[in-house]
Amino acid sequence: MNDAIKIRILQGDPIVHDVRNVKFPERYRGLPLIQDKVCANGCSKCADICPTNAIKLNPVQIDLGLCVFCPLCEEVCPEKIIHFTNDYHTAVDTRESLIISKEIKSISPEAASEKIRKYFGKSLKLRQISAGGCNGCELELNALSNVNFDMGRYGIEFVASPRHADGIVITGPITNNMAKATEICYEAVPNPKIIILFGACAISGGIFKESNKIQRDFIEKNKIDLFIPGCPPHPLTFINGVIDWLDKK
């Protein structure tokens, strides 16, 4: 008993109380900002070096759905046009909002429909499907339930059965071998239900986009409610995305 109390005291108060305003370390790469500057003549270094072809030129645009947040583009740009800030509020509700251009200084999801907020605003149970995820995203989703992030305090939890869930969270590019299981799992979730894509692989295929062993039909034919970009996204990006979307501020 004494030992238990000792451990509890050591535990202290580890929870992130204010999930909205956490100061991230300087080297963390969150939302990129694009300076309103002209590229050097004919320069295409950032687009050429990007491992997932996330960058378009004239004008410079970064697709966060593809971006794996490696700092290569920032490193090669001679004009310092691209800079990754440590803003971790990067979740959005439409695919187009993930395209970052020079006008965009911050992004967040629009609040969900009144119906969705009424159904899920106080309690949201999610079933996670790992469909080719490397376990990076899975670890970050697991971290949501630890004592630091404690997502349960917002009424958001992961459940074991799709029958008990209000929606699914997909990680990974959806491999051929997981395509059918993903469909079956989604079907088993009662209506109304939502789909959240977690990480670059789920959103766009990411670094595995060119693989002939992946199957993206499920993503193309279903409406996606929330996109959480990153490789892997930070747990706080997920929490903030969901509470913004459900308007739980």
Q: Which residues in 183-205 are b (16+ Cβ under 10 Å) and which e?
A: bebbeebeeebbbbbbbbbbbbb
1 contributes a contact to another protein by CB under 8 A = no
Task: Mark the segment that binds another protein (CB under 8 A) among 39-47, 106-114, 202-210, 220-228.
Answer: 202-210
Residue among 155, 207, 216, 224 that touches another protein (CB under 8 A): 207
C-beta of 177: minimal distance to another protein in Å? 5
Residue among 33, 54, 137, 219 that touches another protein (CB under 8 A): 137
Residues 66-105 close enough to bind another protein by CB under 8 A: 68-72
d(CA 247, CA 239): 12
64 contributes a contact to another protein by CB under 8 A = no
Residue among 135, 153, 163, 217 that touches another protein (CB under 8 A): 135
Residue among 44, 106, 123, 146 that touches another protein (CB under 8 A): 146
Closer residue to another protein in complex, CB, 130/240: 130
152 contributes a contact to another protein by CB under 8 A = no
Q: What does the block give as tokens for 29?
A: 């790469």
What CA–CA distances, in Å, run from 85 to 27, 90, 170, 217, 232?
9, 11, 26, 33, 16
| Residue 128 burial (10 A CB sphere; 0-12, 13-18, 19+) | buried
Residue among 45, 89, 193, 234 that touches another protein (CB under 8 A): 234
Q: What does the block give as tokens for 170?
A: 């997909």
140 contributes a contact to another protein by CB under 8 A = yes
Residue among 214, 219, 226, 243 that touches another protein (CB under 8 A): 214
d(CA 21, CA 26): 15
CB 30 within 8 A of CB 85: yes
C-beta of 113: minimal distance to another protein in Å? 27
Residue among 141, 228, 242, 246 that touches another protein (CB under 8 A): 141
| Residue ranges that bind another protein, judged by CB under 8 A | 3-4, 6-8, 10-11, 14, 24-25, 27-29, 49-52, 68-72, 128-143, 146-148, 158, 160-161, 172-173, 175-178, 181, 185, 201, 206-208, 210-214, 231-232, 234
